[in-house]
Amino acid sequence: MECWKDIKGYEGIYQVSDRGNVRSLDRVEVTSAGWSRRRAGQVLRSGSGNGQKRYARVALGARTYRLVHRLVASAFIPNIDNYPHVNHKDKNTQNNMKDNLEWVTPTMNSVHASGVQFSLTNGSETRDFRSTAEAATFLSSNGGNVSRLVNKRKYHHIKGWRLCE
């Protein structure tokens, strides 16, 4: 069952769930003309802006945007060490479920992000690389060529090495 908690600073207006959803609550608003109107609560859409793979954010109020993963972590994950960053354990920035998030230091976040990014094989051997620069040095090639190989543009192999599928 989805568990909901009030968002700090927006108590009684917005809530966040342990599954990474944000909703507004039923409320009565006073219009500029002085009339009262009832607003039905709803689950808010989160977006990353411009269709890019960025962190999901949600609009709270007219011009206030908050990152969903930080809202979930603040509400559901104790930050006993007072760490400033929230890490996505599976590296998927759209997966904002409570169990996928953890509080970390900037260094811990960088180390997590710099894990194995891709692997290359020559048929008999497989090598893991953390960056295109690391692979370029190993292959005695340049980073641009390795980037095109990894992003499946132009090159299918470099010096007999190809991307592992």
Higher model confidence: residue 54 or residue 97? 97
Contact 162, 148 (CB under 8 A): no
Q: SS3 for 39?
A: strand
Q: Specify the pLDDT at position 99.
A: 94
pLDDT in tens, 132-155: 888 888 988 888 888 888 777 677
Q: Specify the pLDDT at position 90.
A: 84
Q: What is the DSSP string of 71-140?
A: HHHHHHS--TT--SEEEETTS-TT---GGGEEEE-HHHHHHHHTS--EEEE-SS-EEEESSHHHHHHHHT
79-98 residues labelled b (16+ CB within 10 A) or e (exposed) = eeeebebbbbeeeeeeebbb
Q: Specify the pLDDT at position 51.
A: 54
- pLDDT of 109 above 90: no
Q: Could you tell me the domains of the chain?
A: 4-113 (3.90.75.20), 118-163 (no CATH)
pTM score above 0.95? no
Residue 44, C-beta contacts closer than 8 angstroms, at least 6 positions apart: 14, 21, 22, 23, 24, 58, 59
pLDDT in tens, 13-65: 999 999 999 999 998 888 889 999 998 988 988 776 655 457 788 888 778 88
- pLDDT of 116 above 60: no
Q: SS3 for 16?
A: strand
Higher model confidence: residue 18 or residue 160? 18
The Cα–Cα gap between 140 and 88 comes to 33
Of all residues in the chain, what percent carry a pLDDT higher than 70?
A: 91
Q: How would residue 8 be classed by pLDDT, with cut points 50, 70 and 90? A: very high
DSSP assignment letter at 160? T
Q: SS3 for 70?
A: helix
